[in-house]
């Protein structure tokens, strides 16, 4: 085995919305051209976003740096050309026109990767985003679009008791975190 190949992290700019395609193409090209020694990981920094769809909590991955793909690579020989030649790739970040790609600082990489790890560990551990006395709007269920004030918070069950005025009378509704949003 040759000497250890030093890889650094680079940011590849991609057409927004095409990040997954870029990653797929890159992974395919790397194995096709047997460049695995020179290219380590290809990552799309994503975060989980929760939404309510038809009364169900749906989580979906969303790129939180749209248009960017992180590539751990040793940019030697044809590697930079292979990466730049991938469909939907605009080029490397941090380069003067025609200059060399600038590697990311380790602290930046760890911050982004840390965010990725942290999200996978805490996706179920949603922070308590609400405060008693705060106004919220119901965004799901039979009381959709009603507004109310948080009366009680049950952290364990991720539920709220919200005082809502319905036909002039106050009613206490029990709703999940996902069924309300803060009123701005």
What pLDDT tens digit does each residue of the chain (184 aa) get? 456 788 999 999 999 899 999 999 999 999 999 999 999 999 988 777 777 777 777 777 777 788 899 999 999 999 999 999 999 999 998 756 667 788 988 888 877 777 655 555 554 455 567 889 999 998 888 888 889 999 998 888 888 999 998 888 888 999 888 888 888 6
Kindly state the tokens that stand for 101: 């790609």
Q: Which domains does the chain have, with CATH numbers?
A: 8-122 (3.30.70.940), 135-182 (2.30.30.30)
Identify the bridge partners of residue 69 per DSSP, sorted by sequence position: 12
Q: Tell me, what's the pLDDT at 154?
A: 87
> Residues near 7 by Cβ (< 8 Å), separated by ≥ 6?
38, 39, 40, 72, 73, 74
Residues 38, 170: Cα–Cα separation, whole Å: 65
Residues 141, 116: Cα–Cα separation, whole Å: 32
| pTM more than 0.85 | no
Q: Tell me, what's the pLDDT at 123?
A: 47
Q: Are 140 and 55 in contact (CB under 8 A)?
A: yes
Q: Tell me, what's the pLDDT at 143?
A: 84
Q: Tell me, what's the pLDDT at 102?
A: 86
Residues 110, 43: Cα–Cα separation, whole Å: 13
Q: Tell me, what's the pLDDT at 115?
A: 65
Q: Are 180 and 141 in contact (CB under 8 A)?
A: no
State the DSSP code for 103: P
Q: Tell me, what's the pLDDT at 63?
A: 72
Q: Tell me, what's the pLDDT at 1?
A: 47
């Amino acid at each position: 085995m040759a000497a250890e190949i030093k890889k650094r992290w680079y940011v590849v700019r991609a057409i927004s919305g095409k990040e997954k395609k870029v990653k797929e193409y890159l992974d395919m090209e790397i194995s096709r051209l047997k460049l695995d020694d020179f290219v380590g990981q290809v990552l799309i920094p994503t975060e989980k976003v929760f939404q309510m769809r038809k009364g169900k909590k749906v989580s979906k991955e969303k790129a939180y740096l749209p248009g960017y793909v992180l590539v751990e690579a040793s940019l030697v020989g044809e590697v930079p050309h292979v990466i730049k030649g991938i469909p939907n790739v605009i080029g490397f970040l941090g380069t003067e026109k025609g200059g060399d790609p600038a590697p990311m600082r380790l602290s930046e990489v760890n911050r982004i990767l840390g965010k990725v790890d942290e999200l996978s560990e805490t996706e179920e551990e949603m922070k308590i985003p609400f405060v008693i006395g705060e106004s919220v709007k119901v965004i799901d269920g039979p009381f959709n679009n009603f507004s109310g004030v948080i009366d009680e918070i049950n952290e364990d069950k991720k539920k709220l008791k919200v005082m809502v005025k319905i036909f002039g009378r106050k009613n206490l509704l029990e709703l999940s975190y996902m069924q309300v949003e803060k009123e701005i």
